[in-house]
Amino acid sequence: MSNILSIRLRMAREAKHLTQVQVKKLTNINNKTLSGYEKGVSEPDVDTLITLANLYETSVDYLVGNIDEPTPHFLKKEKPNYKKYILSAPTLEDAACRIAELKNKYYIDRETYLTLSEMAYDKHNTLQAKGTTEKNDRLKK
Domain boundaries, the chain: 3-64, 82-140
The arithmetic mean of pLDDT across residues 122-139, rounded, is 62
The answer, yes or no, to whether residue 32 has pLDDT greater than 50, is yes
CATH superfamily name and code, 3-64: lambda repressor-like DNA-binding domains (1.10.260.40)
Q: Which has the higher per-residue pLDDT, 78 or 6?
A: 6
Note the Cα 63 to chain centre separation in Å: 19
Is the whole-model pTM more than 0.75?
Answer: no
In this prediction, residue 69 has a pLDDT band, given cuts at 50, 70 and 90, of confident
Helix residue spans in the chain (DSSP H): 3-15, 20-27, 31-39, 46-55, 60-64, 82-87, 92-106, 110-140
Q: What is the pLDDT of residue 135?
A: 47
In this prediction, residue 29 has a pLDDT band, given cuts at 50, 70 and 90, of very high
